[in-house]
Amino acid sequence: MNIIINHSSMQPIYEQIMGQIKEKIMHGEWKEDTALPSVRTFAKELKVSALTVKKAYDGLEEEGFIVTVHGKGSFVACANQETMLEEKKREVEADLEMAIRKGRSCGMSDLEIRELFQIVLED
């Protein structure tokens, strides 16, 4: 499966799992209808609780990245471009928020941050 869990990260494990699976789907590594491992199998492989994997799968299903068929398992959902685009927009927004927080933490004013943004945007 090639999912790497960082136990010293501040990010919850289920979010790490979700993020890496989303990346694989968005970058085309996992195609539509690709079967995901069962919750128990994946939990054993990652050496985490089955509840953690279940929470990740539930989140991915809620966001439209996977579908679960009772008795058959979980599969990559059809590659809905709108869902993928929305996810990428959320990532950009989160990155911008982090950059703004970082700028403010080192004493930059909102005006300075806007000016820097304009400079970067023009490059």
User: Per-residue pLDDT tens for 34-44?
Assistant: 999 999 999 99
Task: Answer whether 0.85 is exceeded by the pTM.
Answer: no
Block residue for tokens 């699976």:
21
On whether both 26 and 53 belong to a single domain, the answer is yes
Q: What is the CATH number of the domain that holds 35?
A: 1.10.10.10
On whether both 51 and 96 belong to a single domain, the answer is no
User: Per-residue pLDDT tens for 18-54?
Assistant: 999 998 988 888 888 899 999 999 999 999 999 999 9
d(CA 112, CA 47): 46
Q: How many domains does the chain have?
A: 2
DSSP states along 4-59: ---TTSSS-HHHHHHHHHHHHHHTTSS-TTPBPPPHHHHHHHHTS-HHHHHHHHHH
On whether both 24 and 69 belong to a single domain, the answer is yes
Residue 86 has which token pair?
């929305």
